């Protein structure tokens, strides 16, 4: 089929992993000759890359999908694709629910989009959800930014947290080869990118599935070694990584982050709960004491490091006292940022079947109380930047105040200052004159 003048649209829900997958799928579509359309109603191919981490994320997808399914009745040549985690979770069932769909593809199939679409254009309705070995993408991703880029390091998750769908929808851990990761970063450096965020559900579990052992039987590859291996890629000034799991966060990794100048002092390490019994019921594999020790060690090496995390309130059986242990942890540690969520029972996860569910009223009350504490603590943490000079990598214009540009500090605080968009991609020294809970304003020095 000819693809000239044909347009595609991609909407992405969910986490950074999905954003990275979308950029690769958009790259494949452009390579096939499609042009990007901001408006889905103007596109011949509409792709929703979906998230199912909580029920409300999943429901959002169905409402978007409903509108396009309707449009297909008057425009039968519209190609409708559901990719990502809802696609993997629902599979064939999605076709029964939305028969207008042409393609349902799980996250492991993202790089196969061209092959799958050829099947569709040949007249088939296609479901691709079987577990596969993820192939390297040979086309170029269409990246949203020209300055910062995602680079996948490890796909999937081998944990079994009792609330979580991710292992069901993303499959088992698959680490990319260090050479492939470095090659992608070198290409980014050549293209003028300045910052790379290395991605994985549990990035610090990197390498366990790759072949080879060290003398003594340890895995040949691990995340700390990977950081040493990629840190001198020319052109890349900053390296970040997410998400870290407390079980795999070693002192050796912390020491490497302190030693390697390009690795930014920002750590995203979800704790989920501050209560040991709940952590056990969640099957997280650590205690709050262990979590606190990790943060202490980070601060011993890098006193100014910024720390962010995820937490869940209202997990089945959570008592008021146990919830207060989460508040206490947040109070004690003082996070720079915390993603909070009310527990949402998910299909195919053990905790969804337990009888000790917490009521929606209690969940939303706890969520509000936690969020209130988080913004107080984040504002306190932000104050340490006041009057200080920070390095800001300029990423673009402030859409609300065009005289300002915006970028991030090494600690990942969004920062605005009066400047020129031609400074995009430069690291500018900025003196902070205003500190809000989650962003800063300053002046160049
Ligand atoms: N791999 C990461 C987190 C990935 S999922 C880790 O283990 O830390 C992102 C976040 O979604 C989780 O950290 C958790 O806080 C939240 N989450 C996952 N399942 C959830 C559920 N059923 N209800 C509410 N929040 C959930
Ligand atoms: Fe989900 Fe746990 Fe895996 Fe994180 S580690 S993705 S919370 S199962
Ligand atoms: Fe959502 Fe899938 Fe990410 S469920 S949070 S898009 S791994």
**pTM for the structure as a whole:** 0.96
Start and end residues for every CATH 2.40.50.140 domain found in the chain: 386-444
pLDDT tens readout for residues 265-285:
999 999 999 999 999 999 999
Say whether domain 386-444 belongs to CATH 3.40.140.10: no
- Letter string b/e over residues 395-426, b meaning 16 or more CB atoms within 10 A of that residue's CB: bebbeeeeebbbbbbbbbbbbbbebeeebbbb
Ligand 2 shell residues, CB under 6 Å = 157, 159, 161, 164, 166-167, 201-202, 245
- Cα–Cα distance, 66 to 68 (Å, whole number): 6
| Whether the CB of 14 sits within 6 Å of ligand 3 | yes
Residue 3 CB-half CA count within 13 A: 17
- For residue range 402-412, list pLDDT tens digits in order: 999 999 999 99
DSSP H or E segment with residue 13: none
Residues of the chain with CATH 3.30.750.210: 145-264
| Tokens representing residue 256 in the block | 């490497």
Q: Which residues touch 154 (CB under 8 Å, ≥6 apart)?
A: 173, 174, 175, 176, 200, 201, 202, 203, 205, 206, 207
**Sequence ranges of the chain with CATH classification 3.30.750.200:** 272-384
What pLDDT digit, counting tens, does each position of 293-329 carry? Answer: 999 999 999 999 999 999 999 999 999 999 999 999 9
pLDDT at residue 213 in the model = 87
pLDDT grade for 385, boundaries at 50, 70 and 90: very high
Confidence of residue 247 (pLDDT cuts 50, 70, 90): very high
Per the listing, tokens 């750590």 go with 267
The pLDDT of residue 432: 98
- Out of 157, 162, 291, give the residue to mutate to test ligand 2, the one with the largest number of ligand atoms within 8 Å of its CB: 157
Decide if 331 contacts 304 (C-beta within 8 A): no
Q: 1-5, 112-116, 252-256, 328-332: which has the minimum mean pLDDT?
A: 1-5
Relative to the CA of 165, which ligand 3 atom is closest? 4
Beta strands 439-444; 427-435: pairing state:
antiparallel
pLDDT given for residue 272 in this prediction: 98
CATH assignment, 3-128: 3.40.50.12160
Residue 353: partners with Cβ closer than 8 Å, 6 or more residues away:
none
Choosing among 1.10.3720.10, 3.30.750.200, 3.30.429.10, 2.160.10.10, the CATH entry for 272-384 is 3.30.750.200
DSSP state of 5: T
CATH code, residues 145-264:
3.30.750.210
Tell me the two tokens of residue 363.
Answer: 């969940």
Distance 270 CA to ligand 1 centre (A): 8
Does the beta carbon of 442 lie inside 6 Å of ligand 1? no
């Amino acid at each position: 089929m000819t693809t000239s003048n044909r347009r595609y649209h991609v909407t992405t829900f969910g986490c950074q992993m999905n954003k990275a997958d979308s950029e690769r799928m958009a790259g494949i579509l452009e390579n096939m000759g499609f042009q990007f359309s901001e408006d889905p109603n103007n596109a011949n191919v509409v792709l929703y890359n979906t998230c199912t981490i909580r029920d409300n994320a999943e429901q959002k997808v169905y409402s978007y999908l409903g509108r396009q399914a309707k449009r297909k009745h008057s425009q039968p040549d519209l190609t409708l694709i559901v990719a990502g985690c809802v696609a993997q979770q629902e599979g064939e069932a999605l076709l029964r629910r939305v028969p207008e769909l042409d393609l349902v593809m799980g996250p492991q199939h993202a790089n196969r989009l061209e092959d799958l679409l050829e099947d569709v254009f040949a007249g088939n309705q296609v479901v691709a959800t079987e577990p596969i070995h993820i192939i390297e993408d040979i086309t170029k991703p269409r990246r949203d930014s020209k300055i910062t880029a995602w680079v996948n390091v490890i796909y999937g998750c081998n944990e079994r947290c009792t609330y979580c769908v991710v292992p069901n929808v993303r499959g088992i851990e698959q680490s990319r080869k260090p050479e492939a990761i470095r090659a992608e970063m070198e290409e980014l450096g050549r293209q003028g990118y300045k910052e790379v965020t290395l991605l994985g559900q549990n990035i610090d579990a990197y390498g366990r599935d790759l072949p080879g052992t060290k003398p003594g039987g340890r895995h040949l590859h691990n995340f700390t070694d990977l950081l040493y291996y990629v840190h001198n890629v020319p052109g890349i000034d900053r390296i970040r990584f997410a998400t870290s799991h407390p079980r795999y966060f070693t002192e050796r990794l912390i020491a490497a982050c302190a030693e390697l100048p390009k690795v930014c002092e920002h750590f995203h390490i979800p704790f989920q709960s501050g209560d040991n019994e709940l952590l056990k019921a969640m099957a997280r594999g650590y205690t709050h004491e262990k979590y606190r020790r990790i943060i202490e060690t980070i601060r011993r090496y890098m006193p100014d490091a910024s720390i962010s995390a995820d937490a869940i309130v209202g997990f089945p059986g959570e008592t008021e006292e146990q919830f207060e242990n989460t508040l206490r942890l947040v109070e004690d540690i003082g996070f720079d940022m915390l993603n909070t969520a009310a527990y949402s029972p998910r299909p195919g996860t053990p905790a969804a079947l337990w009888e000790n569910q917490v009521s929606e009223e209690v969940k939303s009350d706890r969520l509000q109380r936690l969020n209130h504490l988080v913004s107080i603590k984040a504002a306190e943490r932000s104050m340490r930047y006041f009057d200080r000079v920070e390095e800001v990598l300029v990423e673009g214009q402030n859409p609300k105040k065009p005289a300002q540009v915006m970028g991030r500090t090494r600690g990942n605080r969004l920062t605005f200052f009066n400047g020129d968009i031609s400074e995009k991609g430069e690291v500018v020294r900025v003196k902070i004159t205003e500190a809000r809970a989650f962003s800063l304003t300053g002046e160049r020095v």
